[in-house]
Amino acid sequence: MKDLAVRLAALDADAGAALQVIAYFDSLVEARAGLQSIVRGAAVLSGCPARLEDDVRRLRIRVDPAGVSSLSPEPADPAWLRMPILADGTAALWLERPGPPGPIEAMILERATGAARGVLDRTRGRARAPDPASVELVLDGAADPELRRTAARGLGLPADRPVHAIALAGGAATVAAADAPVPAGRAGIGPPGSVLELPASWTAARTALRFTAEGTEEDPGPTVVHFAQLGALALLAELPAEPIPDVRALEHAGSGAPWLLSTLDAVADGVSLRAAATALRVHHSTLQDRIVHAEHLLGWNVREPQGRLRLQLALALRRLHRHRQT
């Protein structure tokens, strides 16, 4: 097959590349490769990040073009190339590139989703929800340690690897190995540790959840936050729930234009204004005009280091205020 692809490429580059894609994913299927390898193949062959999301199994895998797993807190963009893995649409494979797909990208999506479908059918079936009573027990620091260890074994938690608690929107809780895929949707991730450290991880996970956002224009920001990455920002969660003047200024500014809050979030999170413009998919000059308008409404300069830090803190406090009950 490899020799045929080389000969065919000399005659028709697209046909040769398509044959290489087919051969690549056929070899993965033959080797009974896992989902991580399949998503990695899609990313490397397409030259752009690829992600697999399964809402039912709360499964998220993302790999960059270099073949490195790199989970992104940002939700998938509807404009990206996408193909459903399951007929009910609960699982899909994405290429983080706007459509329409070219012939090679279409082939990558088709072969990768077919291979992923086989893995899900073979190894997972329909995911079973963790037993709520067992989850509650392992998160209860007052419970007998041996009972908590027994409950952890029943939940399938590994005894030889770190585990952590995960706080989900709506107050739901789950536990998983620290190297397991992150659930889809808003999630606060507690620090990893042993099974007996899960109660502390759960407390931290609930704090981390308050720093998450819906990922929409009205509530921009990360949908997944790891408590271990918050550092001193975690102290903000101990402040009174009432919004401070800077948060009220954000709310006032956001009411003036639907794009304003997402623009400010991109500016606060980006390494540069050009990076923020790229993330927003607007021209650099357009972003400059937006910032001038936003600064007029806010009352401070967000392009200076002190003003940018002030903006970052205001956005974090706004999320804490919006999600103080989660």
Condensed to tens digits (0 to 9), the pLDDT of residues 26-50 reads: 889 888 888 889 999 999 999 999 9
pLDDT greater than 90 at residue 79: no
pLDDT greater than 70 at residue 300: yes
Q: Which of 208, 234, 231, 232 is nearest to 221 (CA)?
A: 208
The pair phi, psi for residue 247, each rounded to 5°, is -70, -40
Predicted local distance difference test score (pLDDT) of residue 89: 65
**β-sheet with 187-189: strand ranges across:** 173-177, 163-168, 187-189, 224-226
User: For residue 298, what are the contacts with CB-CB under 8 A and spacing of at least 6?
Assistant: 249, 250, 253, 311
Predicted local distance difference test score (pLDDT) of residue 15: 57
The average confidence (pLDDT) of the chain is 85
* Domain spans in the chain, listed from the N-terminal domain onward: 2-123, 132-210, 239-322
Contact in structure between 203 and 181 (CB atoms under 8 Å): no
pLDDT greater than 50 at residue 1: no
Q: Which of 77, 83, 126 is nearest to 98 (CA)?
A: 77
- pLDDT band for 11, please (50, 70, 90 cuts): very low
Sign of the C-alpha dihedral computed for residues 16, 17, 21 and 23 taken in this order? positive
- pLDDT tens track for 56-76: 666 788 999 998 887 766 778
- pLDDT tens track for 131-179: 788 899 999 999 999 999 999 988 888 878 899 999 998 888 999 888 7
Mean pLDDT (whole number) for 215-239: 91
pTM: 0.61
- pLDDT band for 232, please (50, 70, 90 cuts): very high
Predicted local distance difference test score (pLDDT) of residue 204: 97
Which range among 3-12, 60-69, 115-124 has the greatest average pLDDT?
Answer: 60-69
- pLDDT band for 3, please (50, 70, 90 cuts): very low
Residue type, position 311, single letter: L
Q: What's the rounded Cα separation, in Å, for the pair 244 and 247?
A: 5
Residue type, position 292, single letter: V
Predicted local distance difference test score (pLDDT) of residue 212: 94
Which range among 254-258, 274-278, 299-303 has the greatest average pLDDT?
Answer: 299-303
Superfamily of domain 239-322: PucR C-terminal helix-turn-helix domain (1.10.10.2840)
Contact in structure between 69 and 60 (CB atoms under 8 Å): no
pLDDT greater than 90 at residue 121: no
